[in-house]
Amino acid sequence: MFVRIIPLIFCLFLGLLPTSHAASNVPELPKLDAAQYLLVDFLSGTELAAKDPDKRIEPASITKLMTAYVLYQELEKGNISIEDRVLVSEKAWKMEGSRMFLEAGKKVPLERMISGLIVQSGNDSAIALAEHTSGSEENFVRKMNEEAVRLGMTNTNFVNVTGWPNPRHYMSARDIVTLTRAVITEYPEHYKLYAEKEYSYNGIKQYNRNKLLWHDETVDGVKTGHTESAGYCLLASAQRGTMRLISVVLGTESDKKRSNYSQQLLEYGFRFYETHKLYDKNSVLTEARVWKGNSPTVPTGILEDFYVTIPKGHYAQLKGLMEINKSIDAPVKRGDVVGMAIIKDVDRVVLQKPLVAMDSVDTGGTWTNITDSIKKLFVE
């Protein structure tokens, strides 16, 4: 490993903090005429390009990504089954906008409705599935907002399951990426459906509105959105080799522009950046001194795979160091933050991630407490 240890410095960070990778060999992204956009590496979470990523915007049908995410959870819990037959209500049947053309009063296999939700972006299927799962759209929306809070989507609030315009219904580009990473990570089998180019129901064939599925074979999702007020929006993801990128383009003037801008973002990321795994999850990297405990040290490391995204050709320049808290008192629990792993590209910090205790350390006896209290005076 390329890590060196600086033992007596401490910085507390609560989460992964990607850092901008502006570098001399990475040109500026050409100007994109979109209201907001964001390009993120899936594995490292590093943001490679952005414009107003935290601004609250109308997400239109990108909303249905959260609708589907909650459905996946309910399927996993066994609260609903892929074999369920879903009753189509009058409310679902009357929905305007994109539809899979369900008929009121009929029961449709849940599996077919999920395909209609994702591939055809069916507003009618979204309503019917929400009512089947939670009794009403309102109840289902509460689950959507609960999940948004759990995932840390701080600029998101849902009012409906379809993305129908409402001033209290909004997301941000960064929140959209957060949700996308969760869907791909937690439900890879369900995610495959986002690459389907067409789906037929009730004798009507409809095509996926994500035109990149036809133009770039590495693109495998994710979701389009459009209303008069939101403009044309596209959430896309592509994988080339082991590197996956997620792009969000919001508020463009046309279907063509949202596709072109999304392709530009993806090409920019793949052309000028590369992603590497530095450490496997549960890797022990060093030890930290523990005072007043039944053990004088605790192994420290990381609980998740540790990736870094850097300008191409910079991997050999990376340096790693660890900053460890010099004043750790027992008790210590596994997962407690005890320092920081820092990755530098020459002298520029490119990524920081918390170092945590990999084991627990209980409080020591009276004598240990006394002697360590004295010793600690000479190192603080």
Please report, for the domain that includes residue 84, its CATH number. Answer: 3.40.710.10
First-to-final CA distance of the chain: 29
| pLDDT tens digits, 78-116 | 999 999 999 999 999 999 999 999 999 999 999 999 999
Counted domains in the chain: 2
- Whether 185 and 117 map to the same domain: the answer is yes
Which residues are annotated as part of the binding site? 223
What is the C-alpha separation between 49 and 30, in angstroms, rounded?
11
Q: Is residue 31 part of a domain?
A: no
> Residues 235-249: what's their mean pLDDT?
98
> Residues 271-298: what's their mean pLDDT?
94
pLDDT of residue 380: 60
> What is the domain range of residue 87?
36-252
- The residue among 372 and 180 whose pLDDT is bigger is 180
Query: Which are the catalytic amino acids?
Result: 61, 64, 121
Which residues are annotated as part of the binding site for substrate? 223
User: Which of 201, 217, 252 is the last residue before a domain boundary?
Assistant: 252
- Whether 16 and 43 map to the same domain: the answer is no
> Residues 54-59: what's their mean pLDDT?
96
- Whether 107 and 149 map to the same domain: the answer is yes
Angle at which helices 64-77 and 137-150 pack, to 10 degrees?
Answer: 90
- The residue among 217 and 10 whose pLDDT is bigger is 217
> Residues 45-50: what's their mean pLDDT?
95
Q: Is residue 264 part of a domain?
A: no
Q: Is the entire prediction scored with pTM above 0.85?
A: yes
Of 285, 368, 284, 378, the residue nearest 329 (C-alpha): 368
- Whether 215 and 341 map to the same domain: the answer is no
Three-state secondary structure readout of 79-91: CCCCCCEEECCHH
- Whole-number average pLDDT of the chain: 91
pLDDT of residue 346: 85
Q: Is 177 exposed, middle or buried (0-12, 13-18, 19+ CB in 10 A)?
A: buried
- Whether 213 and 301 map to the same domain: the answer is no
Q: Does residue 377 register a pLDDT over 70?
A: yes
| Contact (Cβ atoms closer than 8 angstroms) between residue 306 and residue 341 | yes
Q: Does residue 8 register a pLDDT over 80?
A: no
- Whether 85 and 50 map to the same domain: the answer is yes
What is the C-alpha separation between 62 and 64, in angstroms, rounded?
5
> Residues 39-44: what's their mean pLDDT?
97
Of 174, 6, 198, the residue nearest 116 (C-alpha): 198
> Residues 17-34: what's their mean pLDDT?
69
What is the C-alpha separation between 79 and 66, in angstroms, rounded?
17
What is the b/e burial string over 26-43, where b = at least 16 CB atoms within 10 angstroms of the residue's CB?
beebeebebbbbbbbbbb
Q: Is residue 27 part of a domain?
A: no
| pLDDT tens digits, 345-354 | 888 888 888 9
| Helices and strands of the chain, counted as H and E runs | 10, 19
pLDDT of residue 14: 29
| pLDDT tens digits, 111-158 | 999 999 999 999 999 999 999 999 999 999 999 999 999 999 999 999
What is the C-alpha separation between 160 and 248, in angstroms, rounded?
21
> Residues 1-11: what's their mean pLDDT?
33
User: Which of 252, 286, 304 is the last residue before a domain boundary?
Assistant: 252
User: Which of 184, 219, 252 is the last residue before a domain boundary?
Assistant: 252
pLDDT of residue 222: 97
CA 9 from chain centre, in angstroms, equals: 31
| pLDDT tens digits, 225-239 | 999 999 999 999 999
pLDDT of residue 73: 98
Which CATH number goes with the domain that contains 291? 2.60.410.10
Contacts (Cβ under 8 Å, ≥6 apart) of 67: 117, 126, 129, 130, 140, 144, 161, 162
- Whether 46 and 149 map to the same domain: the answer is yes
Of 153, 184, 224, the residue nearest 41 (C-alpha): 184
| pLDDT tens digits, 59-76 | 999 999 999 999 999 999
Q: Does residue 16 register a pLDDT over 70?
A: no
